Structure 1
Amino acid sequence: MMQLESQSLVQRMPQSTKTAILVIGGAEDKVHGREILHTFFGRAGSLESRIAIIPSASREPAVLGERYRSIFQEMGCVEAKVLDIREREQSSDPEMQDYIKGCTGVFLTGGDQLRLCGLLADTPLMEKLRMRAQTGEITLAGTSAGAAVMGHHMIAGGGSGESPNRSLVDMATGLGIIPEVIVDQHFHNRNRMGRLMSAIAAHPDRLGIGIDEDTCAMFEKDGQLKVMGKGLVTIIDAGEMSYTNQASVGATDPISIYNLRVHLLSHGDRYHFHQRVILPPD
C-alpha cells in the first residue's frame, strides 16, 4: 500500500518540472499573451500540473478563484482546484492539506495581504505549503497581495508619492516564504519607491523588491532572480548603507539614507539575491 502511494506521488510531480517561486506585481495579463501565467503553468508541470488556487485575500474569493481556475483549465492542466478558505479552521481540513501535499503548483491571488495572513499564517496548511515551496517540491506564485506576503516582514499598507518617512509605511508579519525580502507591488504604477525605501531603512538586513504591474520576479532554487513582463523589478539593497537617521527623526520627517544601492531590472535581466550581484544576461 505504501509503495502504491509513493508511486502515485511520483506520478503527480512531473520529472521534467523546474520549480520556482513567482512573485508578481499584480494586474498580470489574463487575456492575451498571458506570459507570466503560462510560465507558472509550465513550471508547475504544464499538461501534467495539478494546481491549487487560494483566493483568500480577495473580497470575492469565489469569483476570482473561478477566473484563475478557468484560465489554467483552458491551458490544459490535469486539475485546478480552488481552496476557498474563509475561516482559519479550514486550513486544518485534511482534504485541503492532502491537496497541498499532492499538487504541483499553488497560486495566491490578489486582495488584502492582511486578510490572507490572518487566514493562513501559522496553520497546518501554510506550513506544508511553505515547506514544499522552499524545498522546490512545488511551483508557487503570488500576485499583488499574494506577492506582498512572501517575506517575513510585510508591507501591510501606507502612502505613496512622498519622500521616505516612517509614517509612509505600515509593517506586519508576512508568511515567510522568502524571508530575506520585503516586497512591494504595483510599484512604479502607484509611485511606491518612497514606501519601500522607508521599509528598508527600518529593516536594512532585508532586500527590497519592488515589482511593477504585469511583471514578475521569478526566484529560482539556486538563488537566481529572473525578471519577466512589461515593467521593472526594482531592487533596493542596504547591505552597504553607512548611515540612516530613521530611528531618531519624527514619524513624518524625511529619512536620510547614505550609500543605498538601487537596481532597475527589466525583462530578461538576472540577479543573484543571495550574493546580491547582477548576473550577465542568458
Structure 2
Amino acid sequence: MLRLESQFLTERMPQPTKTAVMIIGGAEDKVHGREILHSFFYRAGGADARIAILPCASREPAILGSRYQSIFEDMGAKTVAILDIRDRDQCEDPAWQEFLEDCTAVFMTGGDQLRLCSLLADTPMMDKVRMRAQRGQITLAGTSAGAAVMGHHMIAGGGSGEHPNRSLSDMAIGLGIIPEIIVDQHFHNRNRMARLLSAIAVNPDRLGVGIDEDTCALFEGDGLLHVIGKGTVTVIDPKKMSYTNQCLVEESTSPLSLHDLRVHILTHGDRYDLKRRESIPPETVSR
C-alpha cells in the first residue's frame, strides 16, 4: 500500500517542495509554462534537486533522456543523471545504486511500458526506487508509459473507441508503486474509456485512473489524489459494482456489462479521497 508521508498544498507557483508520486498522462508541456515539470522540479528539491532520469521505456533512451536532462538543468537542478539502462544487469551497477540512494527524485519517461518493466521489474534498482517513493523520501514521476506501470496491474496495450470487451485491454504486471490503481494514459485524447472499463471488469478490486495528456494525478501521503494540468483525470470506482458478465461471455469481443460503477471526472484543483472513495471539489480554482 502507498505510505507517502506529506501534506498537499494546492497553490500554484511557487510549487511546494514536499514529495509526491506524480502520474502524468503524457505529452506534458515541455516548452511554454511547463507547469507539471516545474511542479516535479520543486518537489524534487528545486535548486538542491538530484534527479535520476530513467528513459529505458524509449527505443531512443539517450535522445529522450537528454531532452529531460536539459529541461531540469535549465530550471536549475543541482544534478541530473541519465540512467540509460539497456540490460537488466545494469540495474546492479554500484554507481547508479549509490546515486539512487542519495537522489531526491526519479523521472520515468514515455515509450513502451512492457519494455520498461522487462528492464526494471524485480531488480534491486527498482526495489530501491519503490521503497523510497512509498516512504516519501523521493518524488517519483512517470509520464505516458512511465505512468502506465505505476499500479500492480498494468494495461500493456489494446484498442480504443469500442464498447468494453475482454480483447480491448492487454494486461500485465506493473511496478506496484501504488498497487491499488490501474492507470490508462493519453486517456480522452485517444478515446480509452472502454479500454479502462474493460480492465476494471477483470480487476474489480482496483481503482481505474484515466489521465489526459498534459495532466497529472498527484499522490501524497494524505490519502488524496490531486489533479494538476490542462485536462481531466477520470476515476472509475467499481467498489459497489453489482454485476458484470465478463466471466460469462464466450467471445472476447462480446460487449461487457458493468452495473453500478461510480465515475468521477476531475479537473485542475479537484481531489479524490482514496480511502473514502469520494471526490472533493476545490475551495477555489485559479487557472
Fold agreement, TM-score > 0.5: yes
Matching residue of 2:187:
187
What do residues 92-140 of structure 1 show as CA deviations (whole Å, max 9, x unaligned)?
A: 1111111111000000000000000000000000000000000000000
Matching residue of 2:271:
270
- Runs of 5+ consecutive residues of structure 2 not aligned to the other structure: 1-15
Measured in 1, the distance between the counterparts of 2:90 and 2:276 equals 39
The residue correspondences of 1:126-145 to structure 2 (distance < 5 A) are 126-145=126-145
Matching residue of 1:162:
162
- For the 8 Å contact 2:269–2:281, the answer to whether it is kept is no
Measured in 2, the distance between the counterparts of 1:258 and 1:217 equals 26
Matching residue of 1:212:
212
Q: What's the offset of the Cα at 1:35?
A: 0.1
Q: What's the offset of the Cα at 1:222?
A: 1.2
What do residues 132-176 of structure 1 show as CA deviations (whole Å, max 9, x unaligned)?
A: 000000000000000000000000000000000000010000000
Measured in 1, the distance between the counterparts of 2:79 and 2:34 equals 19
Q: What's the offset of the Cα at 1:279?
A: 1.9
Measured in 2, the distance between the counterparts of 1:256 and 1:233 equals 23
Matching residue of 1:153:
153
Give the partner amino acid of 1:188: H
The residue correspondences of 1:52-131 to structure 2 (distance < 5 A) are 52-131=52-131
- Runs of 5+ consecutive residues of structure 1 not aligned to the other structure: 1-15
TM-score of the superposition, structure 1-length normalised? 0.94
Give the partner amino acid of 1:183: V
SS of alignment partner, residue 71 of structure 1: helix
Q: What's the offset of the Cα at 1:276?
A: 1.2
Matching residue of 1:255:
256
Measured in 2, the distance between the counterparts of 1:254 and 1:273 equals 29
Matching residue of 1:11:
none
SS of alignment partner, residue 184 of structure 2: strand
The ranges of structure 1 where at least 4 consecutive aligned residues each deviate by more than 6 angstroms after the TM superposition are none
Q: What's the offset of the Cα at 1:217?
A: 0.3
TM-score of the superposition, structure 2-length normalised? 0.92
SS of alignment partner, residue 171 of structure 1: strand
Measured in 2, the distance between the counterparts of 1:248 and 1:118 equals 32
SS of alignment partner, residue 116 of structure 1: helix
Measured in 2, the distance between the counterparts of 1:230 and 1:273 equals 22
The residue correspondences of 1:28-39 to structure 2 (distance < 5 A) are 28-39=28-39
Q: Looking at secondary structure, tell me which structure has more helix per residue.
A: 1
- Is residue 2:198 matched to residue 1:198? yes
Q: What's the offset of the Cα at 1:273?
A: 1.6
Q: What's the offset of the Cα at 1:277?
A: 1.2
Task: Give aligned pairs, total.
Answer: 267
SS of alignment partner, residue 132 of structure 1: helix
SS of alignment partner, residue 70 of structure 2: helix
What is the CA RMSD across the aligned residues, in angstroms?
0.8
Measured in 2, the distance between the counterparts of 1:106 and 1:89 equals 19
Give the partner amino acid of 1:129: V
Q: What's the offset of the Cα at 1:85?
A: 0.3
Q: What's the offset of the Cα at 1:275?
A: 2.1
SS of alignment partner, residue 195 of structure 1: helix
Matching residue of 2:47:
47
